[in-house]
Amino acid sequence: MTTPASRHYSNVPGSTYESQVSDIFSRIEHSRTADDVIEQIEMLILEGVVRVGDRLPGERELARQFDVSRPIVRDALKALEARGLVVTRPGGGTMVADVIGEVFAPPVMELITQHRKAAADYLEYRREVEGIAAEFAARRATADDRALLSDIMRRMEEAHARGDFEEEVAIDVEFHNAVGECAHNIVLLHTLRSCYRLLSDGVFLSRSLIYATPAAQDVLLAQHRAIFDAVVSGDAAGARQAARGHIDYVERAMAEAERSGEWQRVARLRLRQRKNADGIPIDAET
């Protein structure tokens, strides 16, 4: 299979954004069968070049890019749809199916959301896997990978400067996904995407708690910058240490936020039980 000359980056897990895929398919040189088309699209999905929700070009355009007949393209898309890799929407074209998160089947998801230990295990797992991903990314990132990371880092810093909390936390997930892509390991890529799906959905962590104060926001930005700097400079050991340190901080911040929240809850209950001389409940704001 001929490898596409360029990579395509679009939506991140949890996003509702759909993008049109274009100019990433390569001309098929030899037998020109549906199997050749299937193989190329499969690899684009595996490598993370096309993502969940990406819209594939129409049959005519795909046939042009692959340099095959439209019936061959049609047969290939039908086979991919039968295997659950793409979905066809009437009037909406063919989209990459939601193949992320299959690591966590619904019954398992239900269990882990009900047990607090799962959150600790989730962070422990992320600490190790993200450390490896950052190390690999520092060793393997291409010029295009570094350009992608630079753009994400720039947008994160701009959102931080504007005080745009929602944008910053969305870019946070995008940043970690990109580092996983730069590791150029298919299994790591899809394992991490499953993890970040849980993060986007708020299964384990409330990012609003982690980003609760300006001081925490500044620390998190500095940690993302440290990971970025180590990856783009090729410092494998530094990248791994920075990624692990980031998760250690998130773990501490979550524990502190939960503890503070519990203190606040208890303090409010005490306050409600105290009444002033007139028998009116004391209100914290008055």
Query: pTM of the full predicted structure?
Result: 0.72
Given its phi and psi angles, is residue 54 left (phi above 0), alpha (psi -120 to 50 degrees) or beta? Answer: beta
Provide φ and ψ at 63, rounded to 5°: -60, -40
Residue 270 confidence (pLDDT): 63
Q: According to CATH, where is 1.20.120.530 located in the chain?
A: 106-272
Q: Which tokens go with 50?
A: 């096309």
CA 59, 64, 69, 75 dihedral sign is negative
Q: Which residue has the higher pLDDT, 168 or 114?
A: 168
Q: According to CATH, where is 1.10.10.10 located in the chain?
A: 1-99
Name the nearest CA neighbour of 2 among 30, 34, 33: 30
Topology of domain 1-99 in CATH is: Arc Repressor Mutant, subunit A (1.10.10)
Residue 202 banded pLDDT, cuts 50, 70, 90: low
CATH number corresponding to 106-272: 1.20.120.530
3-state secondary structure of 12: coil
Q: Which of 6-15, 52-61, 104-113, 273-282 has the highest mean pLDDT?
A: 52-61
Residue 264 confidence (pLDDT): 63
What pLDDT, in 10s, does the model give residues 93-129? 899 988 765 566 667 766 776 777 887 888 899 999 9
pLDDT greater than 50 at residue 211: yes
Residue 101 confidence (pLDDT): 53
The DSSP-derived string for 240-265 is HHHHHHHHHHHHHHHHHHHHHHHHHH
Q: Which tokens go with 276?
A: 């002033």
